[in-house]
Amino acid sequence: MTKILAVASEVFPLVKTGGLADVVGALPSALKHHGIEMRVMLPVYPAVAASLKQAKPIHHYDDLFGGKVRILAGQAHGLDFLAVEAPHLFDRPGNPYLGPDGKDWPDNWMRFAALSRAAADVGSGRIKAFVPDIVHVHDWQAALAAAYLNFAARPAAKVILTVHNIAFQGHFPASIFASLGLPVEAFAIGGVEYYGGVGFLKGGLQYADAITTVSPSYADEITTPEYGMGLDGLLRARRSVLTGIVNGVDTTVWNPASDDHLALPYVARNFIQRRQANKRAIEQRLGLEEHEGPLFCVVSRLTGQKGMDILALCLDDLVGQGARLALLGSGEAQLESDFKAAASQYPGRIGVVTGYDEGLSHLLQGGADAILIPSRFEPCGLTQLYGLRYGCVPVVSRVGGLADTIVDANEAALDRESATGIQFAPVDASSLTRAIERATRLYADRKAWNSIQKAGMKTDVSWEKSAVRYKQLYQKLLQNR
Ligand code: ADP
């Protein structure tokens, strides 16, 4: 059995702020029947402590970054965890990254250096209860493990770093370096030094044995100045170890045939009628009027990355065409108030729920006609995959994982009945408006629309294919050992 330690700052269903948590939560069971034993390391936030009451200590530190720390082994929700219990760092309720003022915790560098340090100690074989062959770290919060492991005694585990979003890099002032416990030579251009400070993701990219990101297109994009967010040069230099593997979705959690959040579950045979009941439930919940045009939905962080400011510019036109919008999102205060203002301007036509609501996110996919995803960049994206599975047609910008997973409804694809959604480019208000117009026209042609829905629902969005790619990558790394 190949042993993998996955390391991340959030894992569904224990703690989630975005797609990262879904991926880390889904991979272990997808890989299990491929002979891979994966344990997941995460911090013990209060929500995690509640789920891991039976966990047993397997290691302790008298002082790690200013307090006593234990590594606990336990199980919850079918996953095997190694949890880093550090009350002085993680026993804080709410969002894992932000304090009550909505700003990053000032000691985030220390919190996630501690997570990374613990991961590296497991990876170096110091903790006999679990000695992994590979440490698979996710995003900047775990990336420093690659640096720690680079300087650990051999033999140590190989390191894979998966980048879920290169916009989040963990960049801190140089003054923290001395407290990280890395040798001085690590503070160099070939190490963790980044524009005069310390870059957690940058260091991870430098030291990891392999780098993955969550779609082939995004793997290409981040090697360019337009999308690389300053790390494109380093990624060009490391292109030979960089691959893109598209995310799957958890097909038991996201299954329209058995989804408790739907007013009426459905399968391919009866989806057309049954989705109507879900649409009625959305209308009631969001105060929308029945109308013959399409009902678009959005389930998203309300940020510039997600193109939500662009969507806000298209609402007059969307309503003008007879379409409606049901939006669920949370994020930037300005965008929240812009969308709320649009909902009051167009009562019955635009409904907005701000906040995070897992149940409503399912209902929207199960009853809306189409989901709008106008991201400026999108490493993989999950909501378009849920949309495919639920027959909620994705209308997406042609970037990253959106470009890789949606087949545009051009004439050739419509003829072959292989179209699964609508793509548009460039990412601006006039292209998005045209895409909404195209969707509205296609929706009026029920036969074409149903064929797009059916092709989407037939698409394999499970983890199966991607699990095989990860397995191959693990095998390749271990061959070179
Ligand atoms: P990202 O991780 O960049 O936010 P993804 O599309 O990869 O984007 O994943 C977003 C995940 O978060 C999806 O599972 C989506 O359904 C969920 N989500 C986003 N916003 C909300 C919300 N307001 N309420 C419930 N779920 C949400």
Q: What is the CATH number of the domain that holds 396?
A: 3.40.50.2000
Tokens 């963990």 identify what position?
A: 170
Are residues 111 and 138 located together in one domain of the fold? yes
Instruction: Report the nearest atom of ligand 1 relative to the CA of 365.
Output: 16
Does the residue 153 lie in any domain?
yes
Pocket test for ligand 1, best of 9, 352, 357, 361 (most atoms within 8 A of CB): 361
Predicted local confidence at residue 481, as pLDDT:
66
Q: For 33-131, list the strands marked E by DSSP.
A: 36-43, 56-61, 69-76, 79-85
Name the band, by pLDDT with cuts 50, 70 and 90, for residue 161: very high
72-87: per-residue pLDDT in tens? Answer: 999 999 999 999 999 9
Cβ of 361 closer than 6 Å to ligand 1, yes or no, is: yes
Are residues 226 and 345 located together in one domain of the fold? no
- 155 versus 192: which is more confidently predicted? 192
**CA 132 to chain CA centroid, nearest Å:** 25
Cα 139 to ligand 1 centroid, rounded to whole Å = 17
Residue 162 has phi, psi (to 5 degrees) of -105, 125
Q: In whole angstroms, give the CA distance from residue 194 to residue 113.
A: 16
Rounded alpha-carbon distances, angstroms, from residue 146 to 250, 253, 289, 337, 457: 28, 32, 54, 41, 39
Cα 250 to ligand 1 centroid, rounded to whole Å = 14
User: Which among 327, 443, 458, 439 has a CA at the least distance from the CA of 391?
Assistant: 458
pLDDT (mean) for 281-300: 97
Cβ of 381 closer than 6 Å to ligand 1, yes or no, is: yes
Here the tokens at position 98 are 């932000």
Q: Are 342 and 352 in contact (CB under 8 A)?
A: yes
Does the residue 21 lie in any domain?
yes
Are residues 189 and 329 located together in one domain of the fold? no
Are residues 205 and 287 located together in one domain of the fold? no
Q: Are 297 and 394 in contact (CB under 8 A)?
A: no
The string of DSSP letters for 48-69 reads HHHH-TT-EEEEEES-SSSS-E
Closest protein CA for atom 22 of ligand 1: 356
Does the residue 265 lie in any domain?
no
Cβ of 18 closer than 6 Å to ligand 1, yes or no, is: yes
Cβ-based neighbour number of residue 44 at 10 Å: 25
Pocket test for ligand 1, best of 218, 306, 383 (most atoms within 8 A of CB): 383
Cα 404 to ligand 1 centroid, rounded to whole Å = 19
Cα 463 to ligand 1 centroid, rounded to whole Å = 18
Here the tokens at position 188 are 């160099």
323-363: per-residue pLDDT in tens? Answer: 999 999 999 999 999 999 999 999 999 999 999 999 999 99
Are residues 235 and 292 located together in one domain of the fold? no
Q: Are 286 and 353 in contact (CB under 8 A)?
A: yes
- Cα dihedral 205, 151, 173, 40 sign: positive
Look up the domain containing 296 and give its range.
271-458
Total of domains in the chain: 2
Are residues 436 and 469 located together in one domain of the fold? no
Name the band, by pLDDT with cuts 50, 70 and 90, for residue 18: confident
Does the residue 262 lie in any domain?
no
Using CB atoms within 10 Å of the CB of residue 416, give its burial: 0 to 12 exposed, 13 to 18 middle, 19+ buried. Answer: exposed
Name the band, by pLDDT with cuts 50, 70 and 90, for residue 250: confident
Are residues 87 and 189 located together in one domain of the fold? yes
The string of DSSP letters for 214-238 reads S-HHHHHHTTSHHHHTT-HHHHHHT
Pocket test for ligand 1, best of 261, 298, 300 (most atoms within 8 A of CB): 300
Cβ of 329 closer than 6 Å to ligand 1, yes or no, is: yes
Does the residue 402 lie in any domain?
yes
Name the band, by pLDDT with cuts 50, 70 and 90, for residue 154: confident
Instruction: Report the nearest atom of ligand 1 relative to the CA of 383.
Output: 6
Cα 249 to ligand 1 centroid, rounded to whole Å = 12
Cβ of 246 closer than 6 Å to ligand 1, yes or no, is: no
Does the residue 415 lie in any domain?
yes
Are residues 75 and 127 located together in one domain of the fold? yes
Are residues 176 and 59 located together in one domain of the fold? yes
Instruction: Report the nearest atom of ligand 1 relative to the CA of 301.
Output: 20
Residues 6+ apart with CB under 8 A from 437: 317, 321
Are residues 447 and 469 located together in one domain of the fold? no
Are residues 127 and 10 located together in one domain of the fold? yes
Cβ of 445 closer than 6 Å to ligand 1, yes or no, is: no
419-477: per-residue pLDDT in tens? Answer: 999 999 999 999 999 999 999 999 999 999 999 999 999 999 999 999 999 999 999 99
User: Which among 410, 393, 387 has a CA at the least distance from the CA of 461?
Assistant: 387
What is the percent of the chain where pLDDT is above 90?
97
Cα 301 to ligand 1 centroid, rounded to whole Å = 6
Does the residue 80 lie in any domain?
yes
pLDDT (mean) for 309-317: 98
Are residues 334 and 436 located together in one domain of the fold? yes
What is the percent of the chain where pLDDT is above 70?
100
User: Which among 111, 234, 213, 126 has a CA at the least distance from the CA of 166?
Assistant: 213
Does the residue 79 lie in any domain?
yes
Instruction: Report the nearest atom of ligand 1 relative to the CA of 378.
Output: 3
SS3 category, 11: strand
pLDDT (mean) for 233-244: 98
Q: In whole angstroms, give the CA distance from residue 373 to residue 364.
A: 14
Tokens 């209860």 identify what position?
A: 129
Closest protein CA for atom 26 of ligand 1: 358
Predicted local confidence at residue 362, as pLDDT:
98
